[in-house]
Structure 1
């Protein structure tokens, strides 16, 4: 009979897997460090609302919060190579996405080459939100990065930005030419690539 994992050990495993301190989780969720410490040490339980607050703050669903990672005892040795222009292309009004290394399933880091087509944030539509974090590096052209909580910032070729992607965000090209960026999204979501592709589906 399998042992039902406790919230404390699930939270601790998730935190260590992502390299987060208790203070990091506090900043993301608004739950006090003392409360998080007591939960991890099985000294208190949480209400459903608090569980939701933690899962939403960490950009995951409740099932992920309450699950321990499967340990097979075997080291992974996956590898994927993408040649120029190879990948899965997804076209949207604001971006053209070329997903790389798509044959590896259930990866927690999704690399994408994106062509930024939109020029006007007013026509962009609602800012995008999804679980995890996101790194953007400008390969060609220039973009304006719009996010919740911050003033827009312009990035020229060679510029980069790292954001929490649970925060609303959107990128628009500057000037007459489309911009090209390398985007790397990461998340505890075991099907992050599928989630992203569904989010941007027409």
Structure 2
């Protein structure tokens, strides 16, 4: 049975179709070489989380808009939206620090971006420079132990069943706790700014 899990290539094809761009036009807007973009759209090549954030910045889209698949006319009035988040339907994005599964990707222009994230970095040194974005961020530890590093507070150790709520414009990082081999968290980023995750990428690029 064919999987309905969205792929990065499929999402980019949908985005290009919504804007009625040719592959060449998409390449120029995105800053991605034509041959590379073609491989991505045909799922022969993927993008890291950092590169996706860079792409969203170039296209002036939030990450949720970049991941959105359009199934209804854009003029349809929205009065009561609902989306069921299932891991099998999540859009997966991986980089050196996180393995993120974005949920409810079919909803566009949402104020919250929910995801389930596998923590990869074992130390702050391995993580690299702290990151920051606009809005607020809630992280709840589903399994394992996580260290929260911030620029204004001492390190906070979060056990399974514990969470943190922070102003995300404060530089921060999540890494594995001491002697912890694996940790998974539920993360929710919220902001009125449509460019929430694109802003995060801008600061990462500056680091």
Q: Is the 8 A contact 1:110 1:193 kept in 2?
A: no
Which residue in 2 is equivalent to 1:164? 167
Q: Separation in 2 of the partners of 1:103 and 1:192?
A: 17
C-alpha offsets along residues 51-75 of structure 1, whole Å, 9 cap, x if unaligned? xxxxxxxxxxxxxxxxxxxxx9x66
Which residue in 1 is equivalent to 2:183? 179
- TM normalised by structure 1 equals 0.58
Which residue in 2 is equivalent to 1:81? 84
Q: Is the 8 A contact 1:106 1:192 kept in 2?
A: no
| Secondary structure of residue in 2 paired with 1:151 | coil
Q: How does 1:20-31 map to 2 (within 5 A)?
A: none
Give, in angstroms, the shift of residue 194 of structure 1: 5.7
| Structure 1: stretches of 5+ with no match in the other structure | 1-71
1:95 aligns with 2:95: no
| Structure 2: stretches of 5+ with no match in the other structure | 1-74
Which residue in 2 is equivalent to 1:65? none
Which residue in 2 is equivalent to 1:110? 113
Give, in angstroms, the shift of residue 110 of structure 1: 0.7
C-alpha offsets along residues 90-135 of structure 1, whole Å, 9 cap, x if unaligned? 1010011111001101111111100001111012111111110000
1:139 aligns with 2:142: yes
**Number of matched residues?**
129
Alignment RMSD (CA, Å): 2.3
**Max Rg structure:** 1
| Secondary structure of residue in 2 paired with 1:123 | helix
Q: Separation in 1 of the partners of 2:143 and 2:169?
A: 26
Q: Separation in 2 of the partners of 1:117 and 1:132?
A: 24
- TM normalised by structure 2 equals 0.57
List structure 1 segments (4+ residues) > 4 angstroms apart after TM superposition: 193-201
Q: Is the 8 A contact 1:87 1:101 kept in 2?
A: yes
1:125 aligns with 2:117: no
Q: Separation in 1 of the partners of 2:94 and 2:102?
A: 11
Q: Is the 8 A contact 2:90 2:101 kept in 1?
A: yes
